[in-house]
A and B are shown apart, each in its own frame.
Chain A
Amino acid sequence: MTALRDAITSLREATSTPLERNDLGRLAQMHSCCQNLGEASSADNGDAAQAIESIAAGLAALLERVILDEVAEPDAALAAVPGITALLEQACEGKPVDATAATSRMQAAIDGSAEQPAASGTPEPAAPTTPSPVKEAPAATPPEQRPSAAKIEPYLSEPLTIDLSEREHLDGFLDEAAEHMDNIEGGLLEVESAPTNTDKVNELFRPFHTIKGIAGFLNLRDINRLTHEIETILDLGRKSELQITTAIIDLVFSGVDALKAQLDAIREYLAEPSGTVCPQPDITEIMAQLRCAMQSGPAAQQENPGSQEKQAAQDQPPKQTLGDILVAQGIASENQIEHALSLQSTDSGPPRKLGEILIQQGATTQKELDRALSRQSTGKHVRDQSIRVDTQKLDALVDAVGELVIAQSMVVLAEAERGNAKLSRNVAQVTKIVRDVQETAMAMRMVPIGHTFQKMRRLVRDVSRKAGKNVELTINGEETELDKNVIQEISDPLVHMVRNAVDHGVEPAEERRAAGKPEDGQVTLNAYHQGDSIVIEIRDDGRGLDRDKLIAKATERGLIAPGEQLTDAQAYALTLQPGFSTAERITDISGRGVGMDVVKRNVEQLRGKIEIESEKGRGSCFAIRLPLTLAIIDGMLVRIGDDRLIIPTILIEQSLRPEARQITTVQRRGAMLQVRGELCPLIQLGAVFGCTEAVDPCENLVVIVQCEGQKIALVVEELIGQQQVVIKTLGERFKSLEGVSGAAVLGDGRVGLILEPTGLVALHNRLGSSLYIPRVPAVDPATSPPATPESESGQDTADPASPSEAIAESEEPVMAPV
């Protein structure tokens, strides 16, 4: 009796929340509960026990049919389950229940719907159904006995139309599925050697499930159904409701082969799409076998050796006859083939080939025939043209190629000194090859951004629905390729920005109507190459950024001083500050603590930058500008003292030799350079990096660099030139170093450090610029003596320095030039 109690309790728990037909796990669990219940009660002999047994058996049958997806209205059928569970409970408590009525109710649900598929021609549960004539089953017969194999409805395949715009997904699916297929076959063999090991069966379950899910998503119905059936068999197997025999394994193998044939058919179709319908191998037979095995165990399957043979023939495409292929591809009808075959055998003239007859009959063309023949002869389908490679190997290759490029440039230098004509020719040849190798290596890491963009469709759909807006997403430049690492890193920031565009950018419909805009908002994703960088734009036609509001908010937060004059770009860049949100309300879509500042940081880590354009009332455009690859950057090589430094070209605005009147000092400490009406802090690069004394900017050069939306002016001694450099990390030891993002090996084999401006500014601010400011002749330069670094240092330290400055000075040896 305790077994009975336990079973009832777990059954009640399982039905405590509304059942869903997709929740196979729970359904299966309930199914086994019912069986336990049946077994427990059969030990008893009383009336109540019999009632329980028959109701439980009925419920088990009902659940089984729902699990097998053979009930037209599974939701209706499941709705009856809680009632029946309650009935069972009552029965267990010893109350008299009407078992006959209950079983007939369940039988009605099953039988009534069982006819449905035949009527509508499809067993698809989601298909719309008309009220079906409920067949009154003999109530006294509890449906304990499993339906015989003969009662299994045949699976009806539907023509598969493939949307070529989903090609990319399909290609991805085919790749993935092929990989799973290999795993599955290995797994099946393991299961075969240890059929009782449910862990192994479980492992097998997963790849099938994945394939089923994606196939469903891509509307590949046959594959979806086929994997579903196999999955169900495995499920029964792992719950030990079906003994996994060699016959079952064989059957699953056949199923796998049929799956492969399906996948190959799609691959072939994608390689050379013709017509709107993708020809698919027939899976009726294998489906029937799978369902049969599921319901009546392997016995029925063995009783039917004929079908298995037939299956075997189908599993091996190479054995297909030309006629079969033509029919499968929908080129010729079966009648035409038969007719041609009969002609071939009765023809009195010289023996002709089937193909010739068919062409003569106009049933097919030479081209189609050739394709079918080539397929018949090789038995192989169009093979996948890509392989998967460990990205580490790829990185190693790119690194090695980087070394090659450096070594090559050294050879070129050496060769120029020698001046041997033959050598020059050979070196030129090698140079060309090295460039090719470099390009190929780089191209290997490049993947189109389309896949990432496509993910945004779903996001826009969800977010716009949640926000109660109609937003249309337009995607351009899907084919734009960029480094795989960059794509991985950019995905999250992109999600955030698209979400922002929909949630904050696009106004609600009423507001749009009032503004005279179409009610549907537009968000556009665009990607394109521009020079050596790639630009990803997120554009919306919403309300745009409100400059005044931004400034007000920034002033309120103390991010800027009241009354500070900002350019548009600076004002918009405020949105990238931490803790800055102009949205008046925080919705559950936005405001989850991942701010634009995180986006900005991510983008900067990729050595990119964000540019914002906006027009009030017309919309905004956030553009992420990224380098093409993470491994190589374009840098400007500058000299400070004896050291050379690389400034990423992407950051450089301009370089100039300033005039004294452009430089303003504040309290003789902070120096500012005025460029085109903008004031930029003037930073003595050499002094901050500790490799030289401060130098006179007017005697040297100043490079204007973008940094956090503002510009900074860096004093350098010489611009050596622009060059591509392979980036090397400095490793753990220097991870806390500021102002330097990495290093690169220069053409002469020496190392150059790569500048990172944000850290540089922090360093500059901390160290204080006062010690390094050259004395700028504030009066007429002609009358004052020429400034030299030495005299300035002296002058500055002679100034009444604050105590903190004294500390800075004492710490100077740390920073001393080495």
Chain B
Amino acid sequence: MTETAEAVADVRTHASAEGGKYLTFSLDSEDYGVEILKVREIIGIMDITSMPQVPSYVKGVVNLRGKVIPVIDLRLKFGLEPAPYTEQTCIVVVDVGSLVGVIVDTVQEVLDISESQIDPPPPLGASVDTSFVMGMGKIKDDVKILLDIDKVLATDELSAAIDAAECVGDEI
């Protein structure tokens, strides 16, 4: 049963690393890309209302024209060093069933990446979680890490994180 599920997930991972338009942005010194169809809009950094009991990468919620949406810091999510927000810092609002804001260092450009330019994620050893990497886009000398943003922002992961925080609390 689980094997089948994995197989399905595997197929999905490779199938979704298709050519198309990707929004690219930088995080620390790395370049990432997300499918443009997932991106709803890009807004500048704004005041974020912090939330209790959430993992540190969940920065809180913001008001997107009347909608209250959660915002996560991708640097913290990927375990990178936190960096102060600047003029360059952007919130990329993506639609993963519901709207979620993703904080990135700088938004670069929209790139057309053909299927031939995409390589499957290379094995990087157990220390690197590649489950949400759909593929590696090679544009000339640059490499863009193409993210499966749905997986990055999976709802259950966040709830699990909150629950975990609560469980620790329970033990006290």
Contacts and interface: CB of A to CB of B under 8 A. Distances in A.
A682 to B, nearest CB: 18
6 contacts: A643-B50, A736-B159, A736-B162, A740-B51, A743-B68, A816-B56
Among B70, B100, B158, B162, the one with the most A-chain Cβ atoms within 10 Å of its Cβ is B162
Contact of A750 (B47, B65, B98, B100): B47
Given A738-B166, A767-B172, A688 B68 contact: no
Given A745-B66, A814-B165, A733 B53 contact: no
Interface in B123-170: 155, 158-159, 162-163, 165-166, 168-170
A737 B168 contact: no
B59 to A, nearest CB: 6
A814 B58 CA distance: 10
Give chain A's interface secondary structure class: mixed
Contact of B52 (A406, A737, A751, A805): A737
B45 interface: no
B54 to A, nearest CB: 7
Given A736-B163, A745-B63, A766-B166, A753 B70 contact: no
Query: Which 5 residue pairs across A and B have the least CB separation, nearest first?
Result: A766-B169, A403-B66, A689-B52, A751-B49, A728-B68
Contacts of B52: 688-691, 737-740, 763, 815
A690 B61 contact: no
A735 B159 contact: yes
Contacts of A750: 47, 49, 63
Given A730-B68, A813-B56, A807 B172 contact: yes
B56 A743 contact: no
B171 interface: yes
Given A743-B49, A753-B49, 15 more contacts: A688-B52, A690-B50, A690-B52, A730-B61, A733-B70, A736-B163, A737-B52, A740-B51, A751-B62, A752-B49, A768-B172, A814-B56, A814-B165, A815-B53, A817-B50
A804 B66 contact: no
Given A732-B98, A811-B168, A818 B61 contact: no
Contacts of A690: 50, 52-53
Contacts of B59: 818
Among A738, A745, A814, the one with the most B-chain Cβ atoms within 10 Å of its Cβ is A814
Contacts of B165: 811, 814
B163 to A, nearest CB: 6
A808 interface: yes
Nearest to B158: A733
Contacts of A739: 52-53
Nearest to B162: A736
B50 to A, nearest CB: 5
Contacts, number: 112
Contacts of B170: 766
Interface string B30-66: 0000000000000000010111111110011111011
Contacts of A817: 50
A702 to B, nearest CB: 19
Contact of B171 (A745, A807, A816): A807
A177 B90 CA distance: 57
A743 B172 contact: no
Interface in B82-112: 98, 100
Nearest to A738: B53
A728 B53 contact: no
Interface string A728-767: 1111111111111001010001111100000000010011
A406 B68 CA distance: 13
Interface of A: 399, 402-403, 406, 643-644, 688-691, 728-740, 743, 745, 749-753, 763, 766-768, 804-805, 807-808, 811, 813-818
A644 B63 CA distance: 14
Nearest to A751: B49
Contact of B168 (A734, A807, A818): A807
A544 to B, nearest CB: 40
Contacts of B51: 734, 737, 740, 753
A736 B55 CA distance: 13
Contacts of A813: 56
Interface of B: 47, 49-56, 59-63, 65-68, 70, 98, 100, 155, 158-159, 162-163, 165-166, 168-172
Contacts of B66: 399, 402-403, 406, 728, 745
Nearest to B164: A814
B93 to A, nearest CB: 14
Contacts of B70: 730-731, 733-734
A749 B162 CA distance: 27
B143 to A, nearest CB: 31
A807 B168 CA distance: 8
B101 to A, nearest CB: 12
A231 B99 CA distance: 52
A813 B54 CA distance: 11
A725 to B, nearest CB: 11
A685 to B, nearest CB: 10
A808 B170 CA distance: 10
A644 B169 CA distance: 25
Nearest to B59: A818
Among B51, B159, B165, B166, the one with the most A-chain Cβ atoms within 10 Å of its Cβ is B51
Nearest to B157: A733
A767 B169 contact: yes
Contacts of B49: 643-644, 743, 750-753
A733 B155 contact: yes
Among A728, A763, A815, A818, the one with the most B-chain Cβ atoms within 10 Å of its Cβ is A818
B50 A736 contact: no
Contact of B60 (A688, A732, A818): A818
A752 B59 CA distance: 14
A436 B163 CA distance: 44
Contacts of A807: 168, 171-172
A596 B62 CA distance: 38
Contacts of A403: 65-66
Nearest to A744: B68
Nearest to A728: B68
Contacts of A406: 66
A762 to B, nearest CB: 9
Given A643-B49, A736-B162, A740-B51, A804 B63 contact: no
A743 B62 CA distance: 10
Nearest to A406: B66
Nearest to B100: A733
B2 to A, nearest CB: 25
A734 B58 CA distance: 11
A734 B56 CA distance: 14
Contact of B162 (A644, A737, A766, A808): A737
Contact of A804 (B56, B61, B172): B172
A701 to B, nearest CB: 20
Nearest to B76: A818
Contacts of A735: 159
Among B53, B54, B60, the one with the most A-chain Cβ atoms within 10 Å of its Cβ is B53
